[in-house]
Amino acid sequence: MQTDSSFTFVLFGGTGDLSMRKILPALFEAHRAGGMLADSGKIVAVARHVADRAAYIDWVNEHVKPHVSKNGVDETAWASFLDRIEFVKIDLGNPEDFTLLRDALSGRPGIRVFYLATGPSLFVPICHALASVGLNENSRIVLEKPLGYDLKSSNAINDAVGEIFAEEQIYRIDHYLGKEPVQNLLALRFGNVLFEPLWRREWVESIQITIAEELGVEARGDFYDNTGALRDMVQNHLLQLLSIVAMEPPHSMDSDSVRDEKLRVLRALKPIDPRDIGKVAVRGQYHAGVIRGNAVPAYATEPGVKPDSTTETFVALKVEIENWRWAGVPFFLRTGKRLADRVAEIVVNFRAVPHSALGASALRGGANRLVIRLQPNETIRLYCLAKQPGEGMNLASVHLDLAFDRFFREGQMEAYQRLLLDVINGRLALFVRRDEQEAAWRWVEPILNEWAASNKPPKPYAAGTWGPAAASAMLAQHGTCWLEEEN
């Protein structure tokens, strides 16, 4: 990950929540580690809410410091990191202000990275303004989700950005792809002969992918009520994780080889017939409840949310992939807010043995499984059956842990840190290509359209639970259950 390449990292939305919580802390960790960022590399923050660099540094000290270095801030490293930061005050609604940015960047060596930590409505105006002052050459641009509201609006943004930046300059970020266990999933599959022969329909019974949140919509009610869980999480994060799990071995780990295989998975997703949506898709909305002893309000009473809102805060889907490797294997996707725990995980349930001389427990589905935990603690566990100590042949479930901290002295790299370094170094493999994004929207749209046309409200669930009962019933129809229900 080390680089000698000089760069200028321009951060639009420099005072925003994403910049404070994720982007600047990730850049600080790369800076603190030493050697990951070129000494000559600079960070140029762009915003209009503060007056000058001194005021911006005060803002960073107040809002970024709480999110960096879990074991305390190294003040020497922090001071040298602040030396990297410059500031340009710009009104993004005034294209003429971009001459100030052009002048600030004039004569700087190396690549320019433009990170758009703004609302998607500003993506196209920012790109046009950058091109008007000649800043679209020798540069890379990072686009945060959501990229559009549907396929049409997504294509409109991509068309407009694509007129100014070539596809190899565009980095559509999905931070789940930067998580260490996702990288290790690729390593396990394609670096070891042990798993690859089993990674197919003959040996896999089902796969679950869950991204669950304890938090509600917080201060994002206005945004979320016009978006919903299907757009916010399924179209990007969950389908990207699905494509990583199900992809064929790529020719190499270069950007297009990996993304070609992911695209093949997305194009092989079985289209959902609108008449079957009630059987394979569950949408829910949280009502008032209790999480960890604290009462929380219903979604419809959150600030910025319409009292009669039918926006979903929970989605569970049964997905099928129509190819030779995965035909007939159900993939169950689930995401929601105000659920019982904050967890993101991939569960691969292997089939039971065809005949057991050791008793019925060896025939139970899920006795052998692989659990890739993405958050909160990143681990990979392989579950199998072993004999319990003592008399008789009694079996119990045990697990083998891939504990990164025991094998590797280096600390795990946060997802944003890895992805920002990839942008600076020009590595595209972990970023979403336009045709991937289009394929995901094309598959999701029939569900969106059917829900929009339906008069049925989302199914209610109490905050602090695992969502509507219908999500469990959907799995029960296939003789299985969500992982936490089994435990």
Which residues are catalytically annotated? 237
The verdict on whether residue 337 carries a ligand-binding annotation is yes
Q: Which two tokens stand for residue 300?
A: 């419809």
How far apart are alpha carbons 42 and 178 in whole angstroms? 23
Count of CB atoms situated within 10 Å of the CB of 241 = 25
Residue with tokens 């494509």: 243
The verdict on whether residue 175 carries a ligand-binding annotation is yes
The verdict on whether residue 179 carries a ligand-binding annotation is yes
The verdict on whether residue 48 carries a ligand-binding annotation is yes
How far apart are alpha carbons 229 and 239 in whole angstroms? 13
Specify whether the CB–CB gap between 124 and 20 falls below 8 A: no
Count of CB atoms situated within 10 Å of the CB of 218 = 12
Q: Which two tokens stand for residue 196?
A: 């690859």
Strand partners, 319: 331
The alpha carbon torsion through 41, 44, 45, 50 (nearest 10 deg) reads 130
How far apart are alpha carbons 99 and 88 in whole angstroms? 11
Q: Which amino acid is at 33?
A: A
Q: Which amino acid is at 303?
A: P
The one-character DSSP state at 276 is: G
The verdict on whether residue 145 carries a ligand-binding annotation is yes
The one-character DSSP state at 321 is: B
Specify whether the CB–CB gap between 84 and 43 falls below 8 A: yes
Peptide bond into 389 cis (omega under 30): no
Q: Output the CA–CA distances (angstroms, integers) from residue 309 to 225, 230, 234, 281, in the order listed.
A: 7, 15, 20, 19
Peptide bond into 376 cis (omega under 30): yes
Q: Which two tokens stand for residue 187?
A: 């390593």
The alpha carbon dihedral of 135, 141, 147, 153 has a sign of positive
How far apart are alpha carbons 215 and 291 in whole angstroms? 9
Q: Which two tokens stand for residue 397?
A: 């479930």
Quick one: which of 45, 23, 27 has its CA closest to 37?
27
Residue ranges for the known binding site are 48, 91-92, 145, 175, 179, 213, 232, 337
Residues in binding site for NADP(+) = 48, 91-92, 145
* Feature table: binding site for substrate: 175, 179, 213, 232, 337
